[in-house]
Structure 1
Amino acid sequence: MTTRFGYDLRENHLDGLRGWAAIFVLVSHLRPLLPENFKIPRIFFADGMLAVSIFFVLSGYVLSIGFYRNTSKRRVIDLAVRRYPRLAIPVLFSCLLTYALLNLNAFYNIEAAKITGNKDWLPVFFHFTTSITEVFRYSLYEIFIDPLATPSFNPVLWTMSFELAGSFIVLGILLLCGKNKYAQLTVPAIFLAVATIYESHFSGFAYGMIIAQLTAKSHSNWNKGRIVNTLLIVALTLALYVASKRELADNALLLPVCAAICVFCIHFCQVLRSFFSMKISTWLGALSFPIYLTHILVLFSISSWFIVKANEFNISPEITATSTILISVFCSTLVAIAFKPIESTAIKLSRKISKTILYARSSNPLEKVNDA
């Protein structure tokens, strides 16, 4: 995809990685719905927190790579204007879906929790009364400033405050640095150091910026050798292994590092790029945000309902667990496909808003913003 600024924004392998990361979040949230003797081990494809850290690294990369390739402040300002509506509109509709399901009494997560034995997560959500006004306030304001805003219309939305603030920090740093090469190197490094000291999720955005700089400055052929690609695959494997062995208390420090290594290796390894550029990967990438926003609603309604009914009919735990996994993945994908037009509309509308705000009064839109 070519932007109006004349350069390509899409990198298929990174879209593919984002798609698989969304699936990993889905699988990780499936674990509480399964019987104790049928738990999916917390390895990379069931590690939702690692996947979220990968999202943050990818955001830092995608938001900054265009600037490092072209040093265009115009695109930075354009991205800043577009960022909030691009996130908020899909978030709003996911919460409206929650509101509809609440009013239809379609959530069965509390009943399912009694069957599966999960007491600390599954039964916590979706047992409150609310109003449409509260839906709009939560979706458009509260969740973007407070990751623990209650009542929670969608448990995965805690990331939105980090996503929005992290995006603005990245874009602000790019505007601050401009064409100053020294500032481009030092300011992201300072951002990373501060975020790491405070054990913040923002460190993922900083790692993404650094990977973007390496991409913009790297020699095009350095990573085409068999030895280099083998080393990158080994590094990826080690990062996934370390992430799977971490203690929860170490998430804020260790996960961004592991996530950055994953993104770096997949980005620069030709073999891994090929896999994540396959049609199935890029198709999942196109659905990644809809999957992320809606899968919890599927799990707590359709999947939980199935668990309740399977228990009523005395279906064996093994068959119930296997069927729950298949139903959850299928229905989450189906709902995400139906939700995709909402995201597409949000993207188009955010571009129109940016164009209206920044360029409407100029006969030559690209001259409206100073690129110095």
Structure 2
Amino acid sequence: MNSYKKDGSLEALRGVAAFFVIFWHIGLAFFPEFVSVPSRPDVTWSAANQIWFVVLNGASSVQFFFVLSGFVLTRRFFLTDDMSIIIRGAIKRWPRLIGPVLLGVLGSWFLFWTGAYAYVETGKLTGAGWLSTFGNAFHSGVRSHITLWHALAQGIFSVFFREETYFISDLWSMRSELIGSYVGFGLALFLGATRGKIVPGIFILTITFIMTSYLSWLMIAFPAGVALAWALPRKPQPLSILSLIPLLTVGLYLLGYSQGARGAFTPISMLVDGRVPYTFVTTVGACLLIFVVEACPAMRIALSGRWALFLGSISFPIYIVHVPILASLGAHFYLWYADGRSSAGAGFLAGAVTVVGAVIVAYPLAIFDRRWTKFVNRVTARVLADPGQPALSARQSFDEGGAATGTV
């Protein structure tokens, strides 16, 4: 099996984006009016209208995850033309995701079983419909199927194939992640078969973008990431400071945009509102950010190191556990401090407790995730073990009727 060394700079971005998702959900839970796009024309101030909203824009952070998946899953394939990368990824993609997701779902079931959740009472106090419905999981207020059997079924299967996520509501993204990964793998195969020719590649990308947009506007992020992995040279021309700052600024600005936002985002809203979904804007921002990091040695160095790998290692676990922590530990601290009335101080305390608690719980899950990934890799290697068979290239796979997919 080919060794794979993770890109520390991209791992750092993944970790930072995971924290942005936490901040977004803390805002939705404890400061709903602060983070929401105003629904009334006479209400103009909102964090969503501020130029720094990228740090709270959880929706764009998820879109960034999708673009990054498309890029990371296929970049090494384009650099090496090694079909084994694609095949391994195809076999292990779903099993690799199951381990940590299943543990997270079982943990949430345990919190339901013990009555540890306090999201209903806290949501009513803060006026947060998102919190009182457990992240929009229980719109009717009726909680059914909260059993160990349903938790097992959801963690292994339903999250990925039915988008059934009432144990951890933000796992809705797992179905898109799984489908989008295979879209990316297939697209990489077709692009690899173009032998680097631009016109056929653009034609294939155009068809893929059209098809994925019919599936979901969120899904365009995956072919966008693959397109970047395909188009980016092996050794990109280093960006000058004159190019770096504008590209980085524009990328972060676009990632801060929400549908219908005004204020600092009025120029974008005037151009795209009612014409294209916000995901087009945030996908472009994500591509710009990844390109800047990949093409700027100084940024790669600044965003590398053990701390970057640590951030990356807890990004998926913290994404899984933070909503259960927020709806239990964070919500209880809010109720304790607020003492029956809405309170900004209680919100900040609950938010801080949520962040700290999520990091603490995510750490052992990250250790499990690392061991689980190694286990899945070993099993995949045994499945594919054939010492006498040389690695296939993308061109060989098409000529000989092979198939493929990629890996993280």
| Superposition TM-score, scaled by structure 1 size | 0.87
Distance change (3 Å), C-alpha of 1:205 and 1:36:
closer
Deviations 1:219-251 (A, max 9, x none): 54x224222223322322442454564669833
Within 5 Å, give how 1:158-169 maps onto structure 2.
Answer: 158-169=172-183
Look up the match of 1:225: 240
After TM superposition, give the deviation of residue 179 of structure 1 in Å: 4.0
Within 5 Å, give how 1:242-261 maps onto structure 2.
Answer: 242-243=257-258, 245=265, 250-261=277-288
Look up the match of 2:149: 133
Query: Does the CA-based 8 Å contact 1:298-1:332 persist in structure 2?
Result: yes
After TM superposition, give the deviation of residue 75 of structure 1 in Å: 1.1
Look up the match of 1:207: 224
Within 5 Å, give how 1:356-367 maps onto structure 2.
Answer: 356-359=382-385, 362-364=386-388, 367=389
Gaps of 5+ in 1: none
Look up the match of 1:284: 311
Query: Does the CA-based 8 Å contact 1:199-1:252 persist in structure 2?
Result: no
Query: Does the CA-based 8 Å contact 2:21-2:62 persist in structure 1?
Result: yes
Query: Does the CA-based 8 Å contact 2:119-2:132 persist in structure 1?
Result: yes
Query: Does the CA-based 8 Å contact 2:255-2:281 persist in structure 1?
Result: no
Query: Does the CA-based 8 Å contact 1:199-1:253 persist in structure 2?
Result: no
Among residues 329, 335, 352, which one is paired with 2:378 in the alignment? Answer: 352
Structure-2 separation of matches of 1:38 and 1:239: 20
Distance change (3 Å), C-alpha of 1:77 and 1:29:
same
After TM superposition, give the deviation of residue 349 of structure 1 in Å: 1.8
User: Residue 18 of structure 1 aligns to which amino acid in structure 2?
Assistant: R
Deviations 1:70-119 (A, max 9, x none): 11111100111111111111111111101111111010101111211112
Within 5 Å, give how 1:118-157 maps onto structure 2.
Answer: 118-124=128-134, 125=137, 127-147=143-163, 149=164, 152-157=166-171
Gaps of 5+ in 2: 36-45, 397-408
Structure-1 separation of matches of 2:13 and 2:29: 25
Within 5 Å, give how 1:1-372 maps onto structure 2.
Answer: 4-5=1-2, 8-35=4-31, 41-42=47-48, 43-124=53-134, 125=137, 127-147=143-163, 149=164, 152-181=166-195, 182=197, 184-196=201-213, 199-215=216-232, 217=233, 219-220=235-236, 222-243=237-258, 245=265, 250-277=277-304, 279-312=306-339, 317-359=343-385, 362-364=386-388, 367=389, 370-371=392-393, 372=396
Structure-1 separation of matches of 2:253 and 2:124: 38
Query: Does the CA-based 8 Å contact 1:98-1:297 persist in structure 2?
Result: yes
Deviations 1:42-75 (A, max 9, x none): 3111111100000000100011111110111111
Distance change (3 Å), C-alpha of 1:302 and 1:231:
same
Structure-2 separation of matches of 1:271 and 1:237: 18
Moved more, 15-24 or 169-178: 169-178
User: Residue 95 of structure 1 aligns to which amino acid in structure 2?
Assistant: V
Structure-2 separation of matches of 1:179 and 1:120: 46
Distance change (3 Å), C-alpha of 1:168 and 1:36:
closer
Which structure has more helix as a fraction of its residues?
Answer: 1
Moved more, 122-131 or 345-354: 122-131
Point out 4+ residue stretches in structure 1 off by more than 6 angstroms: none
Structure-2 separation of matches of 1:69 and 1:128: 49
Structure-1 separation of matches of 2:298 and 2:250: 14
SS at match of 1:130: coil
Q: How many residues align?
A: 359
User: Residue 27 of structure 1 aligns to which amino acid in structure 2?
Assistant: F
Structure-1 separation of matches of 2:108 and 2:302: 35
After TM superposition, give the deviation of residue 272 of structure 1 in Å: 3.9
Moved more, 138-147 or 224-233: 224-233
User: Residue 22 of structure 1 aligns to which amino acid in structure 2?
Assistant: A
Structure-1 separation of matches of 2:192 and 2:298: 35
Query: Does the CA-based 8 Å contact 1:54-1:263 persist in structure 2?
Result: no
Deviations 1:109-163 (A, max 9, x none): 011112111124433447445222211221211221222x26x111111111111
Moved more, 122-131 or 58-67: 122-131
| Superposition TM-score, scaled by structure 2 size | 0.80
